[in-house]
Copies of this chain bind each other. A is one copy, B any other.
Amino acid sequence: MDKNQTLNLRRKHIGPSCKIFFSHDPIKIVRAKGQYMYDEKGQRYLDCINNVAHVGHCHPDVVKAGAEQMEQLNTNSRFLHDNLVLFAQKLQATLPERLSVCYFVNSGSEANDLALRLAWQYTNNRDVITLENAYHGHVSSLIDISPYKLQHQSDVEHNPSVHVAPSPDVYRGKYRADHADPATAYADEVKDIIDKAHSKRRKIAAFIAESLQSCGGQVIPPAGYFQQVAKHVRKAGGVFIADEVQVGFGRVGSHFWAFQLQGDDFVPDIVTMGKPIGNGHPMSCVVTTKEVAEAFMSSGMEYFNTFGGNPVSCAIGLAVLDVIEKEDLRGNAVRVGRHLTHLLEKQKEKHLLIGDIRGVGLFVGVELVRDRTKLTPATAEAQEVIYRLKEEHILLSADGPHRNVLKFKPPMCFSVEDADLVVEKIDLILTELEKALGLTLKNTLDIANEGNKRKLQADENGNQCENGLVHSTEGGHGAPSHSKRNKRLQT
């Protein structure tokens, strides 16, 4: 089928709530290998965004493991099978000792929902503390604790059992890099929330956070924050859930799990996994302590997941772990991540639009601002960069509450040459953009109200084509505008 036929059938039969990349000129991908994807004409794209294809698209070891097991057996976990227990054992070996019991499920959403059920049962409490701009999944229980998905602050507040703590963002958040101890300041905010909840006779079941906030704007919490939060939450009878769906499996390079960046003295009560675990195969996992698992069991309610932990998924999961090790992908994440961050730091010296560079391993964010003091989000400019990179056959996305953070999370085989290429193109694009905006190091005017100066390209999903341009006018600290919410793409 040609691209238009595919598109027309899609319009007819696929729910329109699932947005397509670059909807005014979508890409039809027919094959992929490593960090490269290829369209129907054979054009190659460099993939900087697909954290699901963790060990590289269509990795032969993973494909082989899946295909061979599919030929042998694919059944549920009511029968004994070695793949299930070997995968659990191998996964456990990457975690602190006390996180020893696994539940295999099919998606990050199923994992986070199960984490809530474990927390509710173990603590016998109901309330959940989540972070500003958090995204934890698409099932209904998780929409409730995902401020990222909600159009209005009131949608969060209307649920008395959900409490939203400030995002520990030291660039744009309440306490910044110039604060003496942002970790304690942010953790104290959680303590205040607990105290207020207690004063209303509410009880805390869990604090949940991505170990590094991804959709929320590539936020890296200050070290020590999780320890202090865990202390407050456990004192209140709750548990700490670390959501590693987007950032786990060695992406940060120095550690296998992003929560380990906080220090060896921090161990969550529940860890949820997802996207990279099966290199694209639908699977995920929740790992917890023996105590939590036993409390869940003692409810008397069985937990059965039809597909979770089947021998094919486990064979694939084992192969992914093997490849990470065999190809030293964590080492690659350290080396290439350092190189990429270094190149981007140099760009920051050159381009006023770059407000912040933050990253660990192959998790890197570039926050674009129109004004380095006011931190006015450069939302339309970020979209322009994404769109222009697409023309250069490079796939990158922008996210965060203001959609102004360029979000790198490429397959883990991303190379130094790939980093060179994407930064070179960003340099060219920002140079042109700043020239058109009259924004140079010698001419730091605030362009917040000069949105019409140049006709910017549409949003990456093309919605703005109907709406005209989208020069966001909100300030650095203001509430996010409502209109942007349906124009952002999670990846």
| Cβ–Cβ contact A28 & B79, under 8 A | yes
| Cβ–Cβ contact B73 & A18, under 8 A | no
| Cβ–Cβ contact B80 & A20, under 8 A | yes
| Given A58-B71, A74-B57, A74-B280, CB of A14 within 8 Å of CB of B301 | no
What distance in Å separates the Cβ of A83 from its nearest Cβ neighbour in chain B?
Answer: 10
CA distance A304 to B374 in the complex (A): 33
CB neighbours of A67 from chain B (8 A)? 63, 66-67, 70
Stretch at the interface among A185-193, A226-234, A307-315: A307-315
CB neighbours of A6 from chain B (8 A)? 80-82, 85
| Cβ–Cβ contact B491 & A17, under 8 A | no
In the complex, A328 has a CB within 8 A of chain B: no
What residue of chain B has the Cβ atom nearest to residue A135's Cβ? B304
In the complex, A171 has a CB within 8 A of chain B: no
CB neighbours of A296 from chain B (8 A)? 15, 17
| Cβ–Cβ contact B13 & A102, under 8 A | yes
Stretch at the interface among A109-117, A398-406, A432-440: A109-117
What residue of chain B has the Cβ atom nearest to residue A108's Cβ? B306
Size of interface on A: residues with Cβ below 8 Å to B: 107
| Cβ–Cβ contact A101 & B13, under 8 A | yes
What residue of chain B has the Cβ atom nearest to residue A76's Cβ? B52
In the complex, A12 has a CB within 8 A of chain B: yes
| Cβ–Cβ contact B26 & A304, under 8 A | no
| Cβ–Cβ contact B301 & A485, under 8 A | yes
In the complex, A443 has a CB within 8 A of chain B: no
What distance in Å separates the Cβ of A62 from its nearest Cβ neighbour in chain B?
Answer: 8
* Pick from B15, B20, B81, B299: contact of A101, CB under 8 Å: B15
What residue of chain B has the Cβ atom nearest to residue A482's Cβ? B300
In the complex, A416 has a CB within 8 A of chain B: no
CB neighbours of A7 from chain B (8 A)? 80
What distance in Å separates the Cβ of A109 from its nearest Cβ neighbour in chain B?
Answer: 7
CA distance A299 to B15 in the complex (A): 13
In the complex, A441 has a CB within 8 A of chain B: no
CB neighbours of A101 from chain B (8 A)? 13-16
Most B CB contacts (10 A, CB to CB) among A102, A275, A306 go to: A306
| Cβ–Cβ contact B280 & A282, under 8 A | no
Stretch at the interface among A86-94, A260-268, A339-347: A86-94
In the complex, A100 has a CB within 8 A of chain B: yes
In the complex, A75 has a CB within 8 A of chain B: yes
| Cβ–Cβ contact A303 & B17, under 8 A | yes
CB neighbours of A116 from chain B (8 A)? 140
| Given A12-B100, A14-B101, A88-B13, CB of A141 within 8 Å of CB of B141 | yes
What distance in Å separates the Cβ of A185 from its nearest Cβ neighbour in chain B?
Answer: 32
CA distance A92 to B13 in the complex (A): 8
CB neighbours of A46 from chain B (8 A)? none
CB neighbours of A312 from chain B (8 A)? 280-281
In the complex, A3 has a CB within 8 A of chain B: yes
CB neighbours of A88 from chain B (8 A)? 9-10, 13-14
Stretch at the interface among A30-38, A159-167, A447-455: A30-38
What distance in Å separates the Cβ of A319 from its nearest Cβ neighbour in chain B?
Answer: 11
CB neighbours of A10 from chain B (8 A)? 80, 84-85, 88
CB neighbours of A27 from chain B (8 A)? 79-80
| Cβ–Cβ contact A28 & B80, under 8 A | yes
| Given A79-B29, A281-B74, CB of A16 within 8 Å of CB of B297 | yes
* Pick from B26, B103, B107, B310: contact of A80, CB under 8 Å: B26
| Cβ–Cβ contact A301 & B77, under 8 A | no
What distance in Å separates the Cβ of A84 from its nearest Cβ neighbour in chain B?
Answer: 7
Most B CB contacts (10 A, CB to CB) among A18, A29, A80 go to: A80
What distance in Å separates the Cβ of A422 from its nearest Cβ neighbour in chain B?
Answer: 19
Provide 5 A-B residue pairs closer than 8 Å at the C-beta atoms, listed in order of the A residue.
Answer: A9-B89, A15-B297, A117-B140, A282-B307, A300-B485
- Going nearest first, the 5 A-B pairs with the smallest beta carbon separation are A67-B67, A9-B85, A13-B88, A282-B307, A74-B280
8 other contacts beyond A10-B80, A108-B306, with CB at 8 A cut-off?
A9-B85, A10-B84, A15-B297, A32-B74, A66-B70, A275-B306, A280-B310, A282-B283
